[in-house]
Amino acid sequence: MTTRRLILTRSAAVIGAASTGLLLPQMAMAQSDKVRVGFMLPYTGTFAQLGVAIENGFRMALDEQGGKLGGREVEFFKVDDESNPAKGIENANRLVQRDKVDVLVGTVHSGVQMGIHKVARDSGVLSLIPNAGVHVATRAQCAPNVFRTSFTNSQPTLALGKAMVDRGHKKAVWITWNYAAGEEAYEGFEQSYTAAGGTIVKKLGLPFPNVEFQALLTEIASLKPDAVACFFAGGGAAKFLRDYAAAGLNKNIQLYGSGFLTEGVLEAAGPAADGVLTTMHYSDALDTPRNKKFRLDYAKTFKAQPDVYAVQGYDTGLLLVKGANAVKGDLSNKKALYAAMEGATIDSPRGQWTMSKAHNPIQDMYLRKVENKENKVIGIAQKAVADPATGCKLS
């Protein structure tokens, strides 16, 4: 018998057996014996480094399980989303329709996330958000198949206002990129700063991902506030820190930020970042065995220092491992999978956190100060910060 005929004969036998229902479970497993994981992340542009750190962290969590999810091998698919919201839906569909991923891990940029979110809600694919903080994904448009392991955009800045007023900085200028993440970070800042008795003198902005800060810095100098607070991230954050210092503003106007400002950029910013105060759910300097081991392992594996994005990617992996183990790799058992993920406590390098009913972390926010290219922890700015999850009907 030729090989071709042998295969045909065997397939006919398998089909015959399958039609009686005898082989169905094995066949279903054989067809999809690897879990298909899709990364939709920025690998180019101002957030490129963030995407790489997230992927590294995620892979590290799986490698700690021998590279498996609930006992199954894993196959990876990748799309560079370029932080381009216009291509968000199309890129997410590449992974979901073309590559038929079981899990979509992405992304960084809030606008792009909205594309992923539409595809996730329409298709029901498991969507894990390792960074983008866009509120609606875990508020009015929360969904059973969507889990965020990072933050909502206003979580870090909800912890910022009081820290500023406590330091006597009662008149501030706010500056950011004009897109969802900046707007929503402002919401948290406005709420916490005014509640603590601070006054926002002016709100400044520029389009994402522009880095022409000069005119705005000149305006800040003439406004003479006590402090500046901001949201910037990635390559743009490094440039903002350098320009702020080059304009001499760091000498007499204290700079604060949502902690992304000083994540992954301290080498690039150099002394320009010294003394900057931020609030964030992680710090490189957290003095815990968990964080120290994570940092050592990550540095050994990737020959780079981890930052908050690496931690979020790692935690995304930890969450998926918990879910996959609970259903022994059968990700089609969605009820049990989601229940395990919802009830998860993640033993993260950032400190333990739990998942809210709306599928967003409830977590401590640290106050940090940059010293010698490190985010030193000054203290906990606010404990167990939960997003209000307004409009989310999951319970």
Find the shortest distance in angstroms from Cβ 342 to ligand PHB: 23
Which residue type occupies 248? G
Tokens 């990700």, located at residue: 331
Q: Say if residues 43 and 124 touch (Cβ distance below 8 Å).
A: no
> Of 154 and 250, which has the nearer Cβ to ligand PHB?
154
Half-sphere exposure in the Cβ direction for 317 (13 Å, CA): 27
Sequence-distant (≥ 6) Cβ neighbours of residue 27 within 8 angstroms: 14, 18
Q: How far is CA 74 from CA 139, 166, 206, in A?
A: 31, 49, 41
Find the shortest distance in angstroms from Cβ 151 to ligand PHB: 8
Tokens of 331: 């990700």
Torsion of CA 114, 57, 236, 287, to 10 degrees: 120
> Of 193 and 260, which has the nearer Cβ to ligand PHB?
260
> Of 257 and 329, which has the nearer Cβ to ligand PHB?
257
Find the shortest distance in angstroms from Cβ 341 to ligand PHB: 21
Helix (H, G, I), strand (E, B) or coil at 371: strand
| Run of H or E including 258 | strand 254-258
> Of 35 and 108, which has the nearer Cβ to ligand PHB?
108
> Of 153 and 283, which has the nearer Cβ to ligand PHB?
153
Interacting residue ranges for ligand PHB, rule: CB under 6 A: 108-110, 131-134, 153, 181, 233, 260
Residue of minimal Cβ distance to ligand PHB: 233
How far is the first Cα of the chain from the last one, in angstroms, to the nearest whole number? 60
Interatomic CA distance for residues 299 and 94, integer angstroms: 32
Which residue type occupies 41? L
Interatomic CA distance for residues 33 and 329, integer angstroms: 9
> Of 87 and 334, which has the nearer Cβ to ligand PHB?
87
Interatomic CA distance for residues 346 and 250, integer angstroms: 37
Find the shortest distance in angstroms from Cβ 136 to ligand PHB: 12
Find the shortest distance in angstroms from Cβ 79 to ligand PHB: 17
Find the shortest distance in angstroms from Cβ 177 to ligand PHB: 9
> Of 58 and 260, which has the nearer Cβ to ligand PHB?
260
Tokens of 196: 């603590």
Find the shortest distance in angstroms from Cβ 315 to ligand PHB: 15
> Of 151 and 294, which has the nearer Cβ to ligand PHB?
151
Find the shortest distance in angstroms from Cβ 83 to ligand PHB: 8
> Of 85 and 317, which has the nearer Cβ to ligand PHB?
85
Sequence-distant (≥ 6) Cβ neighbours of residue 268 within 8 angstroms: 235, 238, 242
Find the shortest distance in angstroms from Cβ 144 to ligand PHB: 22
Q: Say if residues 230 and 128 touch (Cβ distance below 8 Å).
A: no
DSSP state of 288: S
Find the shortest distance in angstroms from Cβ 132 to ligand PHB: 4
Half-sphere exposure in the Cβ direction for 52 (13 Å, CA): 15
> Of 37 and 132, which has the nearer Cβ to ligand PHB?
132
Closest residue by Cα to residue 311 from 131, 48, 152, 154: 131
Q: How far is CA 185 from CA 182, 235, 259, in A?
A: 5, 18, 11
